[in-house]
Amino acid sequence: MASEGAVIWAERAQAELGAARRFRVLADGLEAVGVQAQLVGLAACAVRDEEEHAFLCAKMARALGHETGFAKPEGLSSAATPSWAERHNARERVLLDVIAMCCITESFNASLLHTLYSRTEAGAARTLLHRILKDEVRHAQLGWALLAAQSQDGGCDYVADHLEEMLDISVRDAVFLPAATEDAGESRSIGVLPRAQRRAHFCATLDEIIVPGFAHFGIDTTSMTAWRDHKLALHLQEAEAPED
């Protein structure tokens, strides 16, 4: 059976393939609603980046012993159609898709990869983390740049109505599961975050990067912090519940 590290890289490979597909749709959507060509170009570039990431992550997973290099991440409801797909304004729909992908998913990715890069020992995993990180930072910036343009161009208050749902769609519940402290030795050489550190890392990224990012544009972020508190309380209750 493949090690946890191999499975994590295989899940990354699969997620990268999904990201390539999403950016293809986003690039077409941005072009259709007449967003500036530079931003459309960034989305088109991201498709190629993500395809390359998928290939490289799968290669790493196989090197660590995973049979195919690809594994479906569990616990994500990515197949669900978001409520904003019902909005009448096509530009708002596309903007919300880009925000969910770039400001939320890619910002979390970039933060995680940055942390992993800074903690991983020199070697193949660290080189790959750096290779992917510089692209993911650009992908996150696409979202924030689009939000900046939109905030000058008619406002984006409506974004607040969907932030909680974006977190629901993007963040796996597993992040909140309590985990015992474990030996981080292997994690440091193969580029994965020890389970026991995942929740704190997620909350720090939310509080220090994502929430202030939206607040900067005057968007109400109360629902995001309430969502985080709710998840933390829920999993704390589960951890404390006596076992039958």
Which stretches of the chain bind Fe ion, using CB under 5 A? 16, 50, 53, 136, 139
Q: How far apart are CA 57 and CA 62, in angstroms?
A: 9
Q: How far apart are CA 112 and CA 92, in angstroms?
A: 28
CB of 81 to Fe ion, least distance (A): 22
In the complex with Fe ion, the residue whose CB is nearer, 18 or 161, is 18
In the complex with Fe ion, the residue whose CB is nearer, 18 or 194, is 18
In the complex with Fe ion, the residue whose CB is nearer, 139 or 195, is 139
In the complex with Fe ion, the residue whose CB is nearer, 16 or 92, is 16
C-alpha dihedral sign at 205, 164, 152, 145: positive
CB of 54 to Fe ion, least distance (A): 8
CB of 52 to Fe ion, least distance (A): 8
Residue 146, Cβ density class (10 Å: 0-12 exposed, 13-18 middle, ≥19 buried)? buried
Amino acid present at 184 = A
Between 222-240 and 163-170, two packed helices, what is the crossing angle to 10 degrees? Answer: 40
CB of 109 to Fe ion, least distance (A): 6
